[in-house]
Amino acid sequence: MQSIQLAFSDWLIIALYFGFVLGIGFYLKRFTRNENDFFLAGRKNSSWVAGLAFLSANLGALELLGMTGNTFKYGMYVAHFYWIGAVPAMVFLGLYMMPFYYSSKIKSVPGYLKLRFDEKTRVLNGIAFAVMTLLVSGINLYAMALVLHTFLGWDWNVSMWISAATVAAYVTMSGLLSAIFTEIIQFFLIWFGLFLVSVFGIIEIGSVNDIFRRVDELYSAVSYTTLWSTSADPSLNGMVITWGGIVLGLGFVLSFGYWTTDFLVVQRAFSAKDLRAARMTPILASFFKMAVPFIVILTGLIAIVLANDSKSGFSLLQDGGQVNYDSALPLLIARYYPPGLVGLGVTALLAGFMAGQAGNISAFNTVWTYDIYQSVLNKNASEAHLLWMGRVATIVGILISLVTAYWAKSFPSIMDYMQAIFSWVNAPLFATMLLGMFVRWITPNAAFWGLLAGMGSSITLFLAVKFNWIDGRLITLSSEASDMAANFWRAWWAWLICFVLTIVLSFFTKRKPDDELVGLVRGLTLEVSSEGIPWYRKPEPYAVISVLVFILLNIYFW
């Protein structure tokens, strides 16, 4: 077991953080008067508040522990998750999809599916999203337990229950309102608390160039320090994948499926005070998203160098003989931070956990309450009853997350686990949403059966590879097949099956009349008016700058 002794100042910082978070939840409870306040934070937030919360909800355990651990496992190809795997989709959401979402005044993404298609498609997605969210929520509980286990030597079970109780307390009190406020605080804590890990690592090894050089020396036959130059041959890069899998699976399907349809992040944009602020939310967040690799990717490369240096004394945790890649970041904090500063590093990791967990639970309670409970079980529920149900769903969701946390613990890398889940739900859903928003003749029955077939095919392919029913190379269309490559390609096939089947079935099933699709489909919706808004406050210029920075980063690290 790996643990260190915390100084009194470390404990004080951690205690102050937990006290502050719970205090915010208690304070904001007085402003949570109705369901709109609880589930949508009253729709009063500026683009900056919504934008920071939008990114912070994504900056959970997956980003911090998972991406650092995955860099150790796969190398710099993990940066694709931040650049091609995020920026184009975030910009597309702000420019083209948010007008449909925000203007229809829906409370959730499944709510859009009801208006565009029908109730059964909404319920299907609501159930799938609820299950996915609880599986992902377990990752955050596991990550929190990993931090406490690594630093304090606490029992796994005790760590998970303590973390679950804290999130349950403050989200139950004021819902999305408290989640967003704490996510903004956590955003800055994460940056200030973890940036020094990279700085100290650079100082110990010599320079960024020295880090890249030493990683290249360790992996002379496989590139761990480039993005695209070795993507033609999967055997030459750490992720064992071709550019086709990156572009189609991650850059298109998984990326757009997550950033444009996953209610966990889209819900933050729904809380914006007007359409302009809602459109700016993901675009502003894209700039911060591009900067995150300078913490987690660089830290992962530092861990590779130290773990392969016999003089450093650094090694990752092992559970049952299996290397725990996600322990890289906590162990580097323990290595570099002196007493007093360790408390800040631990608090930053806890903040990441809290942000991700709060985001998942607030999204779950909304979808459960509106898209499953009210839609199927109690159609006449009052506003007060729905508010009560939202709070009950929060507690139940946390308890179920405890179960899924133990499953997450069994995976060598939580990122592999995450991408598998996204390929089951988000990948086919993106096909349904894309067709629904941009093609008016897509029918309700076609959307339902296409979505069901897409999700079913993805889960079937996952099980087929996992239990060796088929060779994973059949999915990746290459001579090699890593877990991540299989995730990317499986997402592509699920999207394609859903996309094609939905189109084909639309020719044989009844479509909705155009007058029921006004405001929901491109061509039947008024164009967004920017009249009277100065050019420097419009989303388009910032979207162009974001895309240009994205292109330059890919060229520089080619």
Within a domain: 532: no
Within a domain: 508: no
Within a domain: 444: no
Question: CA-to-CA distance for 162 and 166, rounded, in angstroms?
Answer: 6
Mean per-residue pLDDT for 68-76? Answer: 83
CATH code, 32: 1.20.1730.10
DSSP for 90-111 reads: HHHIIIIIHHHHHHTT-SSHHH
Within a domain: 531: no
More confident residue, 186 or 504: 504
Within a domain: 458: no
Give the pLDDT confidence of 116-152 residue by residue, as tens digits. Answer: 898 888 888 888 888 888 877 777 777 777 777 766 6
- CA distances 381 to 41, 374, 385, 394, 439, Å, are 20, 7, 6, 18, 34
Question: How many CB atoms are closer than 10 A to CB 249?
Answer: 29
What pLDDT band is residue 1 in, cutting at 50, 70 and 90?
very low
More confident residue, 478 or 129: 129
Please report the pLDDT score of residue 546 as a whole number.
92
Within a domain: 550: no
Within a domain: 72: yes
**Residue 505 pLDDT more than 90?**
yes
What pLDDT band is residue 417 in, cutting at 50, 70 and 90?
low
Please report the pLDDT score of residue 15 as a whole number.
80
Mean per-residue pLDDT for 34-40? Answer: 50
Contact in structure between 133 and 262 (CB atoms under 8 Å): no
The SS3 call for residue 197 is: helix
Within a domain: 180: yes
Mean per-residue pLDDT for 393-399? Answer: 82
Contact in structure between 488 and 419 (CB atoms under 8 Å): yes
The SS3 call for residue 45 is: strand
User: What letter does residue 4 receive in the DSSP assignment?
Assistant: -
**Residue 49 pLDDT more than 80?**
no
CA torsion, ordered 262, 267, 273, 275, to nearest 10 deg: 20
- Find the helix or strand (DSSP H, E) in which 319 lies: strand 318-319
Give the pLDDT confidence of 277-325 residue by residue, as tens digits. Answer: 888 888 888 898 888 888 888 888 998 888 888 777 787 767 666 777 7
**pTM (predicted TM-score):** 0.78
Q: Over pLDDT 70: what percentage of the chain?
A: 82
Q: What is the domain range of residue 111?
A: 8-412
Question: How many CB atoms are closer than 10 A to CB 476?
Answer: 26
Token pair listed for 260:
């444009």
Mean per-residue pLDDT for 516-527? Answer: 76
* Mean pLDDT value across the chain: 79
**CA R_g for the chain:** 23
Please report the pLDDT score of residue 179 as a whole number.
62
Please report the pLDDT score of residue 421 as a whole number.
76
Please report the pLDDT score of residue 171 as a whole number.
65
**Residue 2 pLDDT more than 60?**
no
Domain count, the chain: 1
